[in-house]
Structure 1
């Protein structure tokens, strides 16, 4: 099996059109595993992300998911459609955490193609996306822009065997 057969055939640089909005097919419920693990791995000391006792006695009753986990999950949910054929992540910008996410919320992702441009190499181009994350109540919880170097079909795809 050729390596390029492991990725989709409809998400090369040439396939993206500015203005297109994609609804990604999967959702993901946020559990304490993702939140507490990553909060502690990045040494975030805000106890509202992992101290259930403190949250209970302060009255809110809900652990708030660390924003880095929230936007990372949206990036992950969008990757198969947007960046599966990426050669490099070039930037993450304009991260906006719109509403708190708590354990048990389920996140869904949408992506908008904002811009395409040539790269400094002929086998790839640059695509800028805006990813949107919504919870199960259809509330916008996060928005983030991602710029990626995406393979060009003309250089990377091969004819089926």
Structure 2
């Protein structure tokens, strides 16, 4: 019997399966330093214990996307080791801040399967939860991924596609306990713009750009113990290129969005997302955001802002999203819809 893990293939999944993923990971301050070295991340709450404490938190938590990547990475050997592509996200919520010293683990439940018409692959839908050392859920999300079949002739599992909410309702957003923006220091945060300064429909070009490097991408993906073959093995794809981990693009775009959205401090929900086109080393990533909605919260001085974050490799200032037929323009890499918390 082979002792190596070939990964699951599409025909191995059944709706209702619960998978407890290896391996628990204790995160520390070094993780934050490396994350901030990989991306131009400058959110004040995630950079300063003092700033975070003045906002009512128990010191500076680790970046919300860092926690997401750690939880996500653990799912790869069981969910997407044999993936063709990660297709989308829905119903994501950050439920508790993650602090240095916390130990994170992941578990997923299969909530849907659908074989593709070509018979060689299918889409698998999973709801993943990240838990800390106290068995508290720190974040949860749904994602769906296209997975190869081991045997094209193998019977497909019964089709079952879940109905997913298009947006996390404002009432379901979880504001971290104690968060208080009434004495928020805009000068130290880097920009004066508050919740009331943004209008629904407004588009913000984040101006800056970063050229993606192969080494940085692989370092980041290894950091989160993501073992997907497409990110490391240049022989795995017919074109001989290593696919940049989609989370690397998400974090890069989010960091670039600081220029214009410095006070969109904490991500609390992931409404939806699509990796529209592949990203490869050498691509130069730019970003723009659109304000989709705004909502008040019960926390003092805290508002919620719903943002569409688009990463692309087009010309500076290009905010084209889709072309004829409603398909994403070829230069668009990421279309992400999320809620963040911002001072009123």
1:110-160: CA deviation from partner (whole Å, max 9, x where unpaired): 1000001111124121100001111146711111112111012xxxxxxxx
CA contact (8 A) 2:206 2:258 kept: no
Deviation for aligned residue 1:8? 0.6
Q: Which residue in 2 is equivalent to 1:108?
A: 286
Q: Does 1:28 align with 2:207?
A: no
The answer to which structure has the higher helix fraction is: 1
Deviation for aligned residue 1:99? 0.5
TM-score (norm 2): 0.40
Q: Which has the higher contact order (CA 8 A, sep 6+)?
A: 1
For residues 107 and 121 of structure 1, what CA distance do their matches in structure 2 show?
Answer: 35
Counterparts in 2 of 1:59 and 1:90: CA distance versus 1, 3 Å? closer
For residues 300 and 267 of structure 2, what CA distance do their matches in structure 1 show?
Answer: 17
For residues 213 and 239 of structure 2, what CA distance do their matches in structure 1 show?
Answer: 18
Deviation for aligned residue 1:101? 0.2
State the aligned residue count: 146
For residues 31 and 93 of structure 1, what CA distance do their matches in structure 2 show?
Answer: 29
Deviation for aligned residue 1:49? 0.9
- Bigger radius of gyration: 2
For residues 140 and 149 of structure 1, what CA distance do their matches in structure 2 show?
Answer: 26
TM-score (norm 1): 0.82
Query: Alignment partner for residue 76 of structure 1, among 245, 255, 267?
Result: 255
Q: Give RMSD over aligned pairs.
A: 2.0
List structure 1 segments (4+ residues) > 6 angstroms apart after TM superposition. Answer: none
Q: Which residue in 2 is equivalent to 1:143?
A: 335
Q: Which residue in 2 is equivalent to 1:158?
A: none
5+ long unaligned stretches in structure 1: 153-161
For residues 258 and 271 of structure 2, what CA distance do their matches in structure 1 show?
Answer: 16
